[in-house]
């Protein structure tokens, strides 16, 4: 622990974090570490262990008194032992001094002892001689020593005063905390003989085993009590095997240092330590007769930390059996005498409102306007207090400036309402037994003011100015001031009663009372209330030698301290007077736990703190003054805003979809490279197939930037949430992602379909030219220009979009909190003024390509799939249309639901790219695996034959039947000739994957090609007149074809005599030339 404290202090020196430390002080080593940390100026707050130190250790009180620890809460361990002794003495009816035993201690505590319904036990004329205290062995904890000391000293004190009873013997027995059976054996032996009339357990861990050992020894008359509370202890109380348990308010000990540490960090304000330096969290006695305190529900609430709705979970994340507290249903009321013209109370009302916001409760706290008389004001206060209590508020805080108000408070107490007081009425509060009084002890503060003034000025005569003589607190301050002057042997002229809010009468009254000329050097006055400060400072201008000190602080006082017109101002911390009643009343309402100290004073100092008022002798910094003037503004507790971010599971699913399609596209790229020499891949034109793979990968990669999202494009004010002019730097990456989506989607589509269209165009021209025995001049680079052109058009459209009206991230507030007006739901999206126009232009261009793709698919529908994927391209277009029909309406409906929009669009992109890839590549993979090269070539030849027949029909319908007849006869003759083909040729046909029966068809095909070549030559030599332009074009084509080596080679093969080369050799040569072209 000591090392951790030192490390935290060192880290605070370097970085300012943590903001504060919360510690226990169980040993001297930890105490030294706390002093070390305090030297590093880190705020330290303490709890639980360390209140009562043994003589060998430092007294914790000094740590609090010198400011090392700013706040400490714990149970008074010694007092706990004394309470246990008092209970045993009462239960055993030792002495008549306990006949009126009822309320424990005094009015500072509402702790009461419930007397067992069996009545007091009698010892049958025996004496109370032996008592036992049990604690763990070898546990270093000074609390056990303090508990034993309180137990022993109280028993000895009482019994020693009784002549009929000898001094009691109190024994301390330590048990090693071990296995249950081992401890039971030890304790059974120790308790044999039933010699002890009372047994106090230093810890509740021994409760079960001690009661079991007593049962074994039949020691039914022994009374057993324990410290701490737990589920087992509550059960033993219910079974009447324990007399009582001493609760040290563990929840209050855990909550209060955290709460006051956060309050100090945000305001610099702390509670002034009480005279004994400790805010007491217990002891509280829980007995068998405490029906409300020993229920299962009450214990569950303690163990689960009194859950606050909507949280209803306990330890381990399980639902608690303690009903959660809905703080919105808690109503705290306040009634004080501060009227609307008294500036001191401005901060009180602001602080109370902040406390209610912090605790999430309702506050009923209204301010009175100036009244005709104080009596009228007090009657109105009394009526309002009674009204609130009769309505059943959860708690109420009041000032008690008059006995009339005290009577109303007494009536509230009879109704069971929790009441505490602030500012005025500490004596009445103590007499009524209220929870706490928050404020200064007024007479002590007045006395301290007198001492301070004597230190700072030479006093010949002193006075106390009172503007509200009927207000007891001001009279008490003046009385304390007079007492200080008397003790210091200084002259005091008494109180000067002045009118409120009348500067002329104020000046005349004071001058008449002092009755002295000159600058009034040696005259000192104490202003008992802040409302008289302006008039006193005006008087100071006329009497420059006048020394002034005042109660309360504010902007006017700070300015006067700066100029030297004031000696000091006493800050009674109006902020804490307004703020603290709210959390204290709320927690007492929920937990029934509160400090046992009655008076709570506030301070602003962080070092050398002592009980009493805070003196301000110099003007605070501008920052501190602004904080005070604005009642220490706290960033509002904003309602949780639903940003409608994309569901994380959807984002993960989107990444998975991208990874799957990217792997598929990459796999087909590898397949293309591996089978680049196969007929299927060569006919499929691998360059264009690769572009299709890349396009599909780009298309699906749009899912990645689609998942990027952000907050508001501009920073927002932390309190008002209004948009500032400071850009949110994180949004720049989101803006880039916004435009990345259309770039990837549209360029991906363009690459895919421009490549497929280029394939179709090239194949169509090649087949047409081959059928007509001419070359169209379609090289690969020529159709690559088609791909490049389409891509360039799309890039131009997207670049215009990027430059003119790019998509940017914006967030729109949709729903607002009814009370605060803050947004509670918003939606972020990519948007621009002209996005619809640019998106429509890009979509239109893609649509034109798809329509053209359908047209080409129809005109090339007879081409084999290995050569031209017209069927599958058309299928992919219709597939895309189906996706748009299904996904489009969903995207429109889910436009403002980011999660739905994202996952639907991601699925559309994935399915689109997957469908295109599957339709284009799977047939090729199957063909490459299952179809021979000869079968593929037959398909190509059939396409050429059909194209040729179509051309014949268009050029000369009259001779079509004759040509068909000739080709049929040729096919018959070729079929007959095929029977005499040598065996070596048949073996060669097998090597290229042809069945023997296919030779006839292929030979027939070659014969038909020869016939068409002859017919084409005959048509070219006819004397039919053609238009001059057509003749010129034909000559140009013939000239180009003559220079084309591929066409020339095919012509040689086809024009050779039928006997020079067999048909199989001719077909093999044509296939080789076509695949290379």
**pLDDT on residue 936:** 52
**pLDDT on residue 756:** 78
**pLDDT band at residue 1063 using 50, 70 and 90 as cut-offs:** low
**pLDDT on residue 1068:** 58
Q: Do 376 and 471 belong together in one domain?
A: no
Among 92-101, 441-450, 587-596, name the one with the lowest average pLDDT: 92-101
| 1056 has a pLDDT exceeding 60 | no
Mean pLDDT of 313-330: 81
Domains in the chain, number: 5
Extended strands (E) in 150-280: 169-175, 198-201, 223-227, 244-247, 270-272, 279-280
Residue range 891-911, pLDDT digits in tens: 788 777 888 889 999 999 999
Q: Which of 915, 948, 963 is the last residue of a domain?
A: 915
In a domain, 53, yes or no: no
Give whichever of 658-672, 841-855, 963-977 has the largest mean pLDDT: 658-672
**What whole-number percentage of the chain has pLDDT above 70?**
74
**pLDDT band at residue 933 using 50, 70 and 90 as cut-offs:** low
Q: Do 401 and 465 belong together in one domain?
A: no
Q: Do 211 and 227 belong together in one domain?
A: yes
Among 87-91, 310-314, 372-376, 449-453, name the one with the lowest average pLDDT: 310-314
Cα 933 from Cα 931, distance rounded (Å): 7
Q: Do 865 and 898 belong together in one domain?
A: yes
DSSP summary character for residue 501: S
Q: Do 865 and 945 belong together in one domain?
A: no
| 816 has a pLDDT exceeding 70 | yes
Looking at every residue in the chain, the average pLDDT score rounds to 77
DSSP string computed for 631-644: T------PPPPB--
In a domain, 66, yes or no: no
Cα 638 from Cα 636, distance rounded (Å): 6
Angle at 411 between CA 573 and CA 98, to 5 degrees: 90
**pLDDT on residue 465:** 92
Q: Which of 210, 228, 247 is the last residue of a domain?
A: 247
Q: Do 829 and 902 belong together in one domain?
A: yes
DSSP summary character for residue 204: G
**pLDDT band at residue 875 using 50, 70 and 90 as cut-offs:** confident
Q: Do 536 and 392 belong together in one domain?
A: no
**pLDDT band at residue 984 using 50, 70 and 90 as cut-offs:** very low
Q: Do 713 and 829 belong together in one domain?
A: yes
**pLDDT on residue 56:** 34
User: Which value, to the nearest 10 degrees, does the dihedral of the CA atoms of residues 954, 955, 957, 959 take?
Assistant: -140
Return phi, psi of residue 200, to 5°.
Answer: -110, 125
Angle at 633 between CA 628 and CA 635, to 5 degrees: 160
**pLDDT on residue 986:** 38
**What whole-number percentage of the chain has pLDDT above 90?**
21
Q: Which of 582, 601, 629 is the last residue of a domain?
A: 629
Burial of 1031 (0-12, 13-18, 19+ CB in 10 A): exposed
Residue range 722-732, pLDDT digits in tens: 778 888 888 89
**pLDDT on residue 1025:** 46
Alpha-helical segments (H) within 860-869: none
**Alpha-carbon 836 to chain mean position:** 36
Integer angstrom CA distances of residue 925 from 65, 393, 674, 679: 88, 81, 12, 12
Give whichever of 328-337, 633-642, 676-685, 939-948 has the largest mean pLDDT: 328-337
**pLDDT on residue 264:** 87
**pLDDT on residue 420:** 92
**Which three-class secondary structure state does DSSP give residue 714?**
strand
**pLDDT band at residue 363 using 50, 70 and 90 as cut-offs:** very high
Q: Do 219 and 352 belong together in one domain?
A: no
| 969 has a pLDDT exceeding 50 | no
**pLDDT on residue 172:** 92
Residue range 491-540, pLDDT digits in tens: 999 999 988 777 788 888 988 888 888 889 999 999 988 888 888 898 88
Mean pLDDT of 758-776: 61
Q: 142: closest CA among 56, 212, 82, 72?
A: 56
What is the CATH classification number for the domain harbouring 691?
1.20.1070
In a domain, 315, yes or no: no
In a domain, 309, yes or no: no
In a domain, 312, yes or no: no
- H/E stretch holding 363 reads strand 362-365
Q: Do 617 and 499 belong together in one domain?
A: yes
Cis peptide before 974 (omega within 30 of 0): no
Range of the domain at 663: 648-722+730-915
**pLDDT on residue 967:** 38
**pLDDT band at residue 797 using 50, 70 and 90 as cut-offs:** very high
| 626 has a pLDDT exceeding 50 | yes
In a domain, 604, yes or no: no
Among 428-442, 775-789, 907-921, 954-968, name the one with the lowest average pLDDT: 954-968
Cβ atoms within 10 A of the Cβ of 439, count? 25
DSSP string computed for 381-442: HHHHHHHHHHHT-SEEEE---SHHHHHHHHHHHHTT--EEEESS-HHHHHHHT-S-EES--H
In a domain, 285, yes or no: no
Angle at 730 between CA 727 and CA 733, to 5 degrees: 110
Mean pLDDT of 447-451: 91
What is the CATH classification number for the domain harbouring 560?
3.40.50.2300
**Which three-class secondary structure state does DSSP give residue 280?**
strand
Q: Do 182 and 221 belong together in one domain?
A: yes
**pLDDT on residue 623:** 67
Mean pLDDT of 674-697: 82
**pLDDT on residue 373:** 85
Among 167-181, 273-287, 569-583, name the one with the lowest average pLDDT: 273-287
Integer angstrom CA distances of residue 277 from 59, 213, 601: 11, 41, 12
Q: Do 173 and 212 belong together in one domain?
A: yes
């Amino acid at each position: 622990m000591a090392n951790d404290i030192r490390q935290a202090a060192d880290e605070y020196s370097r970085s300012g974090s943590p903001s504060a430390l919360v510690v226990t002080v169980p040993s001297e080593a930890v105490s030294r570490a706390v002093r070390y940390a305090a030297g590093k100026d880190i705020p330290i707050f303490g709890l639980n262990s360390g209140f009562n130190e043994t003589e060998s250790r430092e007294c914790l009180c000094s740590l609090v008194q010198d400011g090392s620890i700013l706040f400490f809460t714990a149970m008074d361990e010694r007092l706990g032992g004394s309470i246990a002794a008092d209970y045993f003495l009462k239960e055993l009816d030792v002495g008549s001094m306990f006949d009126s035993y009822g309320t424990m201690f005094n009015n500072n505590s509402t702790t009461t002892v419930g007397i067992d319904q069996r009545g007091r036990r009698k010892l049958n004329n025996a004496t109370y001689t032996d008592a036992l205290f049990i604690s763990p062995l070898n546990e270093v904890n000074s609390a056990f020593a303090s508990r034993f000391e309180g137990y022993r000293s109280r028993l000895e004190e009482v019994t020693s005063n009784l002549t009929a009873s000898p001094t009691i013997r109190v024994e301390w027995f330590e048990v090693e905390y071990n296995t249950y059976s081992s401890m039971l054996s030890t304790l059974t032996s120790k308790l044999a003989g039933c010699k002890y009339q009372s047994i106090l357990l230093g810890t509740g861990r021994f409760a079960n085993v001690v009661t079991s050992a007593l049962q074994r020894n039949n020691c039914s008359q022994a009374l057993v009590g324990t410290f701490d509370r737990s589920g087992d202890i509550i059960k033993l109380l219910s079974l009447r095997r324990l007399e009582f348990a001493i609760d040290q308010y563990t929840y209050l000990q855990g909550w209060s240092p955290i709460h006051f540490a956060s309050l100090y960090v945000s305001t610099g304000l702390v509670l002034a330590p009480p005279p004994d330096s400790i805010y007491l969290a217990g002891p509280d006695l829980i007995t068998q007769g405490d029906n409300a305190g020993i229920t299962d529900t009450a214990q569950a609430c303690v163990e689960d930390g009194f859950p606050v709705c909507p949280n209803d979970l306990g330890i381990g994340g399980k639902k608690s059996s303690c009903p959660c507290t809905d703080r919105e249903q808690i109503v705290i009321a306040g009634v004080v005498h501060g009227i609307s013209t008294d500036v001191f109370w401005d901060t009180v009302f602001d602080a109370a409102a902040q406390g209610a916001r912090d605790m999430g409760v309702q506050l009923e706290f209204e301010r009175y306007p100036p009244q005709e008389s104080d009596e009228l004001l007090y009657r109105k206060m009394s009526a309002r207090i009674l009204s609130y209590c009769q309505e059943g508020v959860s708690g109420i805080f009041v000032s008690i400036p008059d006995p009339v108000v005290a009577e109303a408070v007494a009536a509230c107490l009879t109704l069971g309402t929790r009441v505490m007081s602030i500012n005025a009425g500490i004596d009445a509060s103590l007499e009524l037994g209220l929870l706490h009084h928050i404020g200064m002890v007024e007479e002590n503060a007045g006395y301290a003011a007198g001492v301070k003034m004597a230190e700072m000025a030479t006093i010949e005569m002193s006075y106390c100015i009172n503007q509200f003589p009927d207000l007891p607190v001001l009279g008490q301050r003046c009385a304390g001031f007079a007492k200080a002057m008397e003790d210091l042997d200084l002259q005091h002229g008494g109180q000067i009663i002045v009118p409120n809010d009348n500067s002329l009468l104020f000046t005349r009254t004071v001058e008449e009372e002092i009755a002295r000329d000159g600058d009034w050097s040696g005259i000192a006055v104490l202003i008992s209330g802040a409302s008289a400060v302006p008039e006193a400072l005006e008087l100071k201008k006329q009497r420059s030698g006048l020394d002034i000190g005042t109660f309360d602080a504010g902007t006017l006082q700070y300015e006067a301290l700066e100029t030297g017109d004031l000696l000091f101002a006493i800050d009674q911390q109006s902020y804490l007077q307004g703020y603290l009643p709210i959390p204290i009343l709320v927690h007492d309402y929920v937990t029934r736990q509160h400090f046992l100290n009655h008076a709570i004073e506030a301070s602003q100092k962080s070092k050398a703190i002592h009980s009493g008022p805070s003196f301000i002798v110099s003007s605070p910094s501008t920052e501190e003054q602004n904080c005070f003037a604005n009642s220490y503004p706290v960033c509002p507790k904003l309602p949780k805003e639903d940003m409608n971010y994309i569901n994380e599971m959807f984002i993960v699913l989107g990444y998975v979809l991208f990874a799957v399609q990217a792997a598929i596209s990459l796999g087909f790229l590898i397949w293309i490279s591996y089978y680049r020499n196969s007929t299927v891949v060569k006919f499929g034109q691998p360059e264009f197939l690769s572009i299709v793979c890349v396009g599909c990968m780009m298309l699906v990669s749009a899912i990645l930037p689609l998942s990027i999202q952000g907050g508001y494009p501009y920073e927002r004010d932390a309190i008002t949430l209004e948009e500032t002019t400071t850009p949110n730097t994180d949004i720049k990456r989101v803006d880039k992602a916004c435009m990345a989506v259309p770039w990837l989607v549209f360029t991906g589509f363009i690459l895919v379909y421009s490549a497929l269209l280029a394939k179709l165009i090239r194949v169509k021209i090649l087949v047409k030219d081959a059928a007509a025995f001419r070359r169209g001049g379609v090289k690969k680079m020529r159709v690559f220009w088609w791909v490049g052109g389409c891509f360039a058009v799309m890039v131009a459209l997207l670049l215009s979009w990027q430059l003119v009206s790019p998509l940017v991230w914006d967030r729109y507030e949709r729903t607002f909190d009814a009370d605060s007006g803050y947004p509670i739901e918003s939606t972020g999206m990519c948007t621009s003024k002209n996005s619809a126009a640019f998106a429509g232009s890009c979509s239109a261009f893609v649509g034109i390509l798809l329509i053209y793709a359908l047209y080409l698919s129809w005109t090339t529908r007879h081409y084999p799939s290995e050569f031209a994927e017209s069927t599958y391209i058309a299928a992919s277009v219709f597939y895309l249309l189906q996706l748009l029909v299904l996904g489009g309406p969903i995207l429109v409906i889910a436009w403002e639901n980011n999660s739905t929009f994202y996952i639907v669009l991601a699925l559309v992109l994935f399915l689109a790219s997957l469908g295109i890839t599957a339709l284009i590549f799977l047939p090729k993979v199957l063909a490459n695996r299952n179809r021979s090269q000869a079968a593929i070539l037959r398909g190509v030849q059939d396409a050429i034959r059909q194209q040729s027949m179509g051309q014949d029909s268009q050029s000369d319908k009259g001779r079509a039947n004759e040509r068909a007849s000739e080709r049929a006869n040729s096919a018959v003759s070729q079929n007959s000739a095929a029977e005499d083909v040598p065996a070596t040729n048949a073996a060669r046909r097998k090597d290229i994957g042809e069945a023997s029966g296919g030779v006839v068809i292929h030979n027939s095909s070659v014969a038909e090609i020869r016939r068409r070549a002859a017919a084409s030559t005959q048509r070219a030599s006819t004397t039919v007149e053609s238009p001059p332009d057509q003749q010129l074009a034909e000559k140009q084509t013939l000239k180009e074809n003559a220079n084309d080596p591929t066409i020339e080679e095919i012509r040689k093969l086809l024009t050779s005599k039928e006997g020079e080369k067999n048909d199989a050799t001719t077909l093999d040569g044509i296939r080789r030339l076509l695949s290379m072209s």
